[in-house]
Amino acid sequence: MEKKPQPKKLRDEANAKFKRTLGENGEFTLGIGSKKLDDIVTNKMRDLDFSVPDEAYDGLSEGDKRALAHLVKAATILDDVFLKQDHPDNIRAKAALEKAAAEGNKLAEEALTLFTLHNGLEGSDLYAPETKPLRLFKDKQLQPGKGFYPQDLTKKELADYIVANPEQAAALLSNNTMVVRDGEKLKAIPYSVAFSDEMAGAARELLAAAKETDHAGLAEYLRWQAQALVNDSDPEAVFKADKYWISNLEDSPLEFTIGRENYDDRMSAAVAADPAVKKVLDENGIKAKAKDSIGVRVGIVNKDSYAEIADYRKHLEAFSKLMPLSNQYKQQTEDGGSKMTFADVDLVCIAGDYASVRGGITIAQNLPNSDKLAVQLKEGSRLVFHRQIRQGGDPVQEKKFLDALIDPSQHQYYDKNADFLFTVGHELAHSLGPRTTKDGRDKSGSLGKYGSMLEENKADVASIFMTGYFVEIGKFDEEQANKIYLSWTAGELPNKRPSEDEAHRSRSIMQLNYFREKGAIEFEKGGKLKIIPEKMAETAKQMLTEVVQLQLDGDANKAEAFVKKYAQWNDALQYAAEEKMKLKPKLYRFVQQPVRDKLLKQKP
């Protein structure tokens, strides 16, 4: 984002005009200083380009090109669903910014850039010493329940209401309902009703794409997905949409994903953990679920990289026999639950939750999540990799990082493809280990707010353990393994101290501390990071054993004690964060989607 900073006088004039343009009542008064906003957009933001190779698009049939355009339109329509789920004022705020920017207001243009990057009115201040929100507007902030719940609803009020109205508990704590006030009562509205216009519009585009594509399996999936959008209360439609997404797209030229992930809703989990609410749920056999945020991905499948991913997959069953405590649970590879299809895609469009780049941006996803019926009925999952994200980066900044924090003798081990291979192992590892606790409860849900963190931790250390196994069987030589070990460990070094709510960043801290304690890595304040290769896989196995045991026990108190023991901030981590920030990295990433933009401009 190369822009020249505005002089202070011009910024002040623009700020005054900005406020007038958006209304004197100050509803959308800028909450971030004009100087800071200009600094972020000018100096601290870099583009992530989703350009697609010409041969990838040109290689599509004419029917699939037309189908791709419809899929992009569907994603754009569903973006509004996420905006409403995130905050009730998002859409009006976006419209106000667009109007002001169209009238030539430069400050409004910069504010719209930041809104677009976050896909909402709040993100994270990536340059603050400790994690804190970056709010675009005064008096507008994200609540623990996002837009899923009334903005003035407290955890206590919701808990008390569920205890007093147990017959509504299942609907209120469902993963696909919006909760609104109805007089003195609360009312749960299914997504298909709450967002009926958007769901119907997206469904029409999916049906149009199904008619155009030359791929029969993709067409069948899109028809079921269209039905699921407009009737999400029908478990068969939702199940079959997931099922055919998993099974029908193995050789599809196009990837279309509607992701339903529930990491953003902190209200539901907190209320479900309330002792009085938990009693109501247990007595009525209700499984509380956090609300799903809608994310959408559209891409063109790259067939050339499939072989590398598939080669990893063929070793999974043999490796599963080495999983710790495997005598205490049935391996998922034994009951069909590990079925998995793959795709490596050139991204054309991301929308909704996937476009809300408020911290990192994922290079791969393994879906559906374990709370979805298709997974529970052992239909397997689909693993999709994002080519432009893993291939992007700043070589100059990476060199500065290595010089500042990595032992010179191990610079040669820092490798992007190694990070890709680690991620393949991570995603595959989600299908390993226990599916439930020893007594049959949901393994993540039973561990409360630490359940998802420990599942991701399991996948991380299982991938490192798997790397050591691949050396033993001759798939990797020691140099390749060292590249994976070092690239993963270097990526764990923090930019700042995470908050308790940042599960993924806290997981990195926990893993660094564990590996330091066991002597698998060396890193102290004032020093350089160094891996001890011969200890990496064994240490990963030790941590994996402890985490699998926690999942089997399903004891939230034990999980909390484990996390708090290892997620401790210390001088070495503070030093790493300070040194990384001295390098002046451009932490904000603005996603450019040129193919999407071109397709949206096409006439029907």
Q: How confident is the model at residue 1 (pLDDT cuts 50, 70, 90)?
A: very low
Do residues 424 and 354 both lie within one domain?
Answer: no
Other beta carbons less than 10 A from residue 296's beta carbon: 26
150 cis-preceded (ω within 30 degrees of 0): no
CB within 8 Å of 201: residues ≥ 6 apart: 74, 77
Given a cut of 70, whether residue 75 has pLDDT beyond it is yes
Say how far apart CA 419 and CA 483 lie, in whole Å. 8
Do residues 500 and 445 both lie within one domain?
Answer: yes
Cα 202 to its chain centre, rounded Å, is 22
CB 596 within 8 A of CB 349: yes
Share of the chain above pLDDT 70, in %: 94
| 505-529 pLDDT, tens digit each | 889 999 999 999 999 999 999 999 9
Given a cut of 70, whether residue 502 has pLDDT beyond it is yes
Which of the pair, 489 or 1, is modelled with greater confidence?
489
Residue 83 in any domain: the answer is: no
Nearest 5°: phi and psi at 483?
-65, -40
Do residues 403 and 384 both lie within one domain?
Answer: no
Say how far apart CA 313 and CA 311 lie, in whole Å. 5
Do residues 68 and 38 both lie within one domain?
Answer: no
| 278-332 pLDDT, tens digit each | 999 999 999 899 999 999 999 999 988 777 788 888 898 899 999 999 989 876 6
Domain of residue 328, CATH code: 3.30.540.30
Do residues 336 and 483 both lie within one domain?
Answer: no
Residue 345 in any domain: the answer is: yes
Share of the chain above pLDDT 90, in %: 70
- Produce one character per residue of 540-549: b if its CB has 16 or more CB atoms within 10 Å, e if not: bbbbbebbbb
Say how far apart CA 589 and CA 240 lie, in whole Å. 35
Which of the pair, 139 or 555, is modelled with greater confidence?
555
- pLDDT at position 14 is 61
Do residues 298 and 165 both lie within one domain?
Answer: yes
- pLDDT at position 11 is 59
β-partners of residue 102 are none
- Mean pLDDT confidence for 231-255: 94
Do residues 519 and 573 both lie within one domain?
Answer: yes
Do residues 421 and 377 both lie within one domain?
Answer: no
Do residues 379 and 406 both lie within one domain?
Answer: no
Residue 418 in any domain: the answer is: yes
Q: How many domains does one find in the chain?
A: 3
CA distances from 481 to 11, 252, 416, 493, 545 (A): 52, 32, 13, 19, 21
Of the candidates 471, 452, 479, 475, the residue with the CA atom closest to the CA atom of residue 540: 471
Residue 426 in any domain: the answer is: yes
Mean pLDDT score across all residues of the chain:
91
Residue 236, domain extent: 61-78+142-392+591-604
Given a cut of 80, whether residue 31 has pLDDT beyond it is yes
Residue 601 in any domain: the answer is: yes
Residue 559 in any domain: the answer is: yes
CB within 8 Å of 151: residues ≥ 6 apart: 88, 143
Do residues 503 and 388 both lie within one domain?
Answer: no
CB 217 within 8 A of CB 248: yes
| 379-425 pLDDT, tens digit each | 888 989 999 988 877 888 899 999 999 999 999 999 988 988 999 89
Which is it for the CA torsion 131, 134, 138, 141, positive or negative?
Answer: negative
Say how far apart CA 75 and CA 425 lie, in whole Å. 29
Encoded amino acid at 290, one letter = A
0.95 surpassed by pTM:
no
- Mean pLDDT confidence for 352-379: 87
Do residues 249 and 376 both lie within one domain?
Answer: yes
- Mean pLDDT confidence for 341-365: 91
Say how far apart CA 476 and CA 135 lie, in whole Å. 46
Given a cut of 60, whether residue 195 has pLDDT beyond it is yes
Spell out where 43-161 has E strands: 45-49, 122-124, 133-135
- Residue 107's Cβ-side half-sphere holds a number of Cα atoms within 13 Å equal to 27
- pLDDT at position 17 is 63
Residue 421 in any domain: the answer is: yes
Residue 56 in any domain: the answer is: no
CB 17 within 8 A of CB 29: no
Given a cut of 80, whether residue 360 has pLDDT beyond it is no
Do residues 128 and 198 both lie within one domain?
Answer: no
Given a cut of 50, whether residue 588 has pLDDT beyond it is yes
